[in-house]
Structure 1
């Protein structure tokens, strides 16, 4: 489970280019077949992947470094992956919510007072900057799309910057997404506006999943099966049922465990982050692959 590769997205530094390539080389040395999740599931469904080690590299949110850095490396080794996109953000040229919030917070001159729909924050030091940033980011999953849009607009008013410019700097464009499809990648659903699905009412949840599926149908032409990634890794039985009802074949979580073919739960598939214990070293990656 990757997000950004080799670029700063303001609230986090992406996995380095060198480390990402090391991971691919290690998986290939270990005789893993690396492919999009939809292709892996098709093989398993047909009973053709039962004797193989299969690895899926998935990229959440659609950050620019996945195109600029990860794609050339994966083309070099002739491997494909799955990119999970929130298409409402793409259509409206809105960067990832956390990226937008953290970007503004890094640009603020201190001391300052920030007026937001959630209240007024007084920020006097770098420590308070980090604390307020984390408070805002932690609140994202419980907010609706209109609330998030209002918050981000209010923040950008403080620094007189352009939200769409940040989108162009940090996120994939529609043409780049199409290029991933042409290269054989899977484009998966990640909600429409990247919202905390368990916090939505039934109507908003249905719309968020249905619109996501409509765009997956438009872009994902490399597989008969379509997959979904729960935004923020948040889901419950109601969310699972809606994802199934809207026609997705499987969904990935942020739970860290290996998926055994013999007892695979298609709507609660586990994924590992690129490293363990916050240590970006190949040894922690190998530990997850070997031990699980």
Structure 2
């Protein structure tokens, strides 16, 4: 069997039809080893169905999926041993402690009692859960529960990890802690597939992002590449005198050949190249128009999401 050494996941023409509804429509993409790969899309776009097929929880209608070169339908048991999966909701038993949960799942993963004890202690330390290790999970905060759920998925030290909305419901501080954990996993050699409803999270963590809408792959690339697809930066100027607004807008319109948005003393104009800022400032200076504030804003992942999915939720 010839395996592609570059990819952790290879998806070709993947399709899933429920009754007469096509949930995933001929999706093809590859996930490189050692990267964080994001899956974005509106609710019902097909990203969760895609993830369920990749992780062998759902059988495709057609198409193929390979994990580290192995076909998921022909080698389902083997590929399941190669990845960890953390879902949106904790799979742990709330009636027992974190330590007991980790011990049980370690034994289920085939570790001996001594191996399970060692691995449990390692994970409790890695995820800063030692102080609460013997407390009932029902007393855990949302962030602690998410960290424990991630720890459970890492018992077998998988090199491929699927994180399905891992920070849903977490406060900003705990979310940032989870981001640090994810970055640490990548530094240790893991490949991560991430679905998230937080566009900032995808921008912050993902090396590449696939945007899915109505079951189709509409775009794929790095955050910077996706932002470039939806347009360049925006220039925002705040003028010293409101009476200069019309004159300044006209100068910028003539230079950029595009309509400038004007609101009181603030002007906003799209840029094809940030080098245009210098020319605009020179023209305003020649016209004796004073500026009190200037900013150049790059497109956000929110701009990308709404542009590529037509703003549908």
Structure 2 length as normaliser, TM-score?
0.27
Structure 1 length as normaliser, TM-score?
0.28
More strand by share: 2
